[in-house]
Structure 1
Amino acid sequence: MAAGTGRTVNDLRSGNRAAVLRRLYFGGPLSRQELGPATGLSSGTISNVVGDLVGDGLLEEAGTVDSDGGRPRTLLRIAPAAGRLIGVDVGETRVRVELFDLALTELARAERPMSGAAAYDVDAVVAHIRDGVAEVLRAAGEPGGDGRLVGIGVGVPGIVAAAGEQGAVVHGQTNGWDAVPLERLLRTACRLPAGLPVLIENGARTLGQAEMWFGAGRGAQSAAVVLFGSGVGACLVTDRAEQGRALEWGHVTVRVGGRRCRCGAPGCLEAYAGAAALLERWREAGGRPPEGADEETALAALVAAAHPAEGEGRADPVASAVLADTAEYLGAGLSGLINLFQPERVLVGGWAGLLLGPRFLEAVRGHAAAYALAYPAGRAAIALGALGPDAVTVGAATLPLAVFLDAGGRREEKPRQREVVLPAWQTAMQGRVRG
């Protein structure tokens, strides 16, 4: 039966369950009496919804709190063990897979290194994810998911688009991915149930969602979150996570006719501010990264050369100059985000951003302010991300978590068919729209 709005009774019940779960997840533990005002639901509805959720094993008691003159009130929280989430980070140097409970406590982790010319070979990446998923489930004693697996989230470099029956496809120009049907490949390789959510997003967006929900973006109305690794990317997020949008920020032009970027275009920000480009510029200027070192080790050596520890000699002027130039390029790039989107906060994350940030973030702030318009620059606080280098994996796990919470904690293999009811304005405007 559908109400006048087109919503069924089941829709209303799912919405009420979702309201309670979201309130408890982000603001709990709470008592039944507190849930009413917090969700806007009546006491009778709260009683019914809580009863259902407890019966489904999704809620558990979390102690008591004194009440005014009455009996102590029982606090409720989401039961962490009621579900499992998998987050995957397809990074520049490795594929990381982590298994979490619903509270995002890490239960198991697996990593597979990627290197050489075949680092982004699609078959190899899919195999790494398949083997990592199997490994973390085995490590947690749940080789088949134990029926509690809520979904898998995957953070990848590149643009993610929906393609009908193919599911999510990835366009990654810098790594040679042209419309790779990653969702279909993963479902086949991992032998996943048809109804299990497999959600694939740009890694900057998963980082942004993690920082917005749990990290340095918490409490902000809007934030631009930068993923600074071998390359650079960004995501614009708001206090409503579903409004997050990945931006191919690393491929804005900062110098006409400049250095050739990995994407093939000249003068991209990534060709100057990404870790790979930064190390290349250091070599060109006469620097000597450790032979055979990976990017993380080499970048640490650059930082050590520019900022030697006390008693270890003088700073290398070449390394210092490269970092100073990088700070200006990054600050100029941030000014574009600030002018275009006017975020309340700008957060720099990713392994390279967190490594460099303590040394040059103040310089980045100065350059961003110099290149940006005064009013939006004065409102934007530039800081480092708070969740560390693993934040992309945590953010990837929040993708199926958000779906689970919005569905009221129900796992549905097929969405219900709903009657489509057009809004009144659309009916009225049909006569005015010209074909």
Structure 2
Amino acid sequence: MDRLSRRTVSDLRRANRAVILQQLYFDGPTSRQALGPLTGLSSGSVSNVVAELAADGLVEEAGSLDSDGGRPRILLRVSPHSGNLIGIDVGETRVRVEVFDVTLTELARADIPLTGDGYDVAVIVEHIRSGIERVLAEAGVPAGDLLGIGIGVPGVVERVPGSGAVVHCQTIGWDAVPLEALLRASSQLPPTVPYFIDNGAKTLGQAEMWFGAGRGARSAAIVLFGTGVGACLFADGKGRALEWGHLTVQAGGRTCRCGAPGCLEAYAGAESVLERWREAGGQPPRHVDEETQLTALLAAACPTDGTDPDPVAYEVMAKTAEYLGAGLSDLINLFQPERILIGGWAGLQFGSRFLDDVRKHTTKYALSYPAGKATIALGKLGPDAVTVGAATLPLEDFFARGGRRDTPAQEPTPPAWRTALEGRVLG
């Protein structure tokens, strides 16, 4: 019973630390007096927890606030120097690595283009390893200060005991890639630095829900529109990735990168959009990356110099808006989200010109009642949202542990009765 009581008190203290850290982090500098009503903790608990957090270097003073007829109230905030985080986006055209302080202020970044070897696993692992070394050296951050490394990847991420995160992604030829184990084997980082690997659409979504256009929404679907398309769904504070790009929109249709016919990605991903433009007679600029080609397509479809749109380019873009609208209508009919947000480098470019068309087609294909309750908008965090969202994965874990750093896992000592019993069996 004593052991149970001690564990319960420890859990309560960790939960109280977590709630105060999150309150200070998400809602800005706050006084001790205001923390009580905001968190539901007693003034005594607030004082004790704040004292602990300050002693641990996690909370610091951030000015004062005049009060009516009394002493000024000291404002508190989460210290930017509480630790550092790394966010990584394994994207379609490059691997981006960024190091942040706890406030998610960028300290350094490395962009490593993907060339002909593309998604070769060994190459990606080396890009991540070298990118981490580069940003840590540039920012002057000791590896021991890292609270964790978050990585957004394409595909389905499975957690396997003994191996960590394993990635399945048909579109890039990854079949059960033990990415976390490979990174640990190649890295010189301390074993106490945890890895958090998840689908890139989910990391984008978490960034938008925490800091961007999703804040305050009870439920939201966030779409990542790049070379391919993906999505995630957030409800009740929890997110999960959806392989939305592999929803069938045309039975027996165009072959998708995954090998199946008729996927949404085969019509609405940037790679397929550019391919449809070429098939229709368009001429994308040569020897440039996909982002530059899509920019050229949008410029031809929607010129800003007063000239008439190129009819072929415009038709390709207009049809893409319809495909996306049809895909979004499925998200609405299935999940009835309060908001739909469009992000990713291609989504932000495309949405700046064709968002109204996407809304129109979504309404046409969706059931009217849930469609009438959903708003469709662009994400606010720009093309860096995946790396920011990846960095929130270790930050979320750090808050959940009440701001306590991880320690290497220890093999539990078996109780004496088990050792004795095993001895009898073996004997």
Which category of TM-score, normalised to the shorter sequence, fits these structures?
Answer: over 0.9
Q: Deviations over 1:131-155 (max 9, x none)?
A: 010000000112x42x321000000
Q: Identify unmatched segments of 5+ residues in structure 2.
A: 413-427
Asked whether 1:196 is paired with 2:190, we answer no
Cross-structure match for 2:425: none
Cross-structure match for 2:305: 310
Per the normalisation by structure 2, the TM-score is: 0.94
Contact 1:97 1:111 in 2 (8 A): yes
Q: Give the alignment of 1:74-153 within 5 angstroms.
A: 74-116=74-116, 118-142=117-141, 144-145=142-143, 147-153=144-150
Contact 1:212 1:239 in 2 (8 A): no
Cross-structure match for 2:352: 358
Asked whether 1:412 is paired with 2:409, we answer no
Contact 1:212 1:238 in 2 (8 A): no
Cross-structure match for 2:291: 296
Asked whether 1:233 is paired with 2:227, we answer no
CA distance in 1, matches of 2:303, 2:236: 40
Cross-structure match for 1:246: 241
2:162 match: secondary structure: helix
Cross-structure match for 1:217: 214
Cross-structure match for 1:265: 260
Q: Partner letter of residue 257 of structure 1?
A: G
1:33 match: secondary structure: helix
> Which sits farther off after the overlay, 374-383 or 22-31?
22-31
Cross-structure match for 2:166: 169
Give 1:101 deviation, angstroms.
0.4
Q: Partner letter of residue 247 of structure 1?
A: L
1:8 match: secondary structure: helix
Q: Identify unmatched segments of 5+ residues in structure 1.
A: 419-435
CA gap of 1:3–1:37, structure 2 versus 1, over 3 A, is farther
Give 1:194 deviation, angstroms.
2.4
Cross-structure match for 2:415: none
Asked whether 1:14 is paired with 2:8, we answer no
CA gap of 1:358–1:46, structure 2 versus 1, over 3 A, is same
Q: Deviations over 1:105-133 (max 9, x none)?
A: 000001100022x2100010010000010
Contact 1:210 1:398 in 2 (8 A): yes
Give 1:239 deviation, angstroms.
5.0
Q: Percent identity?
A: 67
CA gap of 1:251–1:336, structure 2 versus 1, over 3 A, is same
Q: Deviations over 1:326-352 (max 9, x none)?
A: 000000000000000000000000000
CA distance in 1, matches of 2:7, 2:37: 23
1:244 match: secondary structure: strand
Q: Partner letter of residue 397 of structure 2?
A: V
Cross-structure match for 1:64: 64
1:390 match: secondary structure: helix
2:48 match: secondary structure: helix
**Where has structure 1 moved over 2 Å in runs of 4 or more?**
1-4, 191-195, 414-418
Give 1:309 deviation, angstroms.
2.0
> Which sits farther off after the overlay, 285-294 or 271-280?
285-294
CA distance in 2, matches of 1:51, 1:187: 36
Q: Deviations over 1:136-189 (max 9, x none)?
A: 0000112x42x3210000000000000111000000100000010001111121
Give 1:293 deviation, angstroms.
1.7
Choose from 304, 313, 318 the match for 1:324: 318
> Which sits farther off after the overlay, 198-207 or 286-295?
286-295
CA distance in 2, matches of 1:110, 1:330: 32
CA distance in 1, matches of 2:67, 2:299: 57
Cross-structure match for 1:427: none
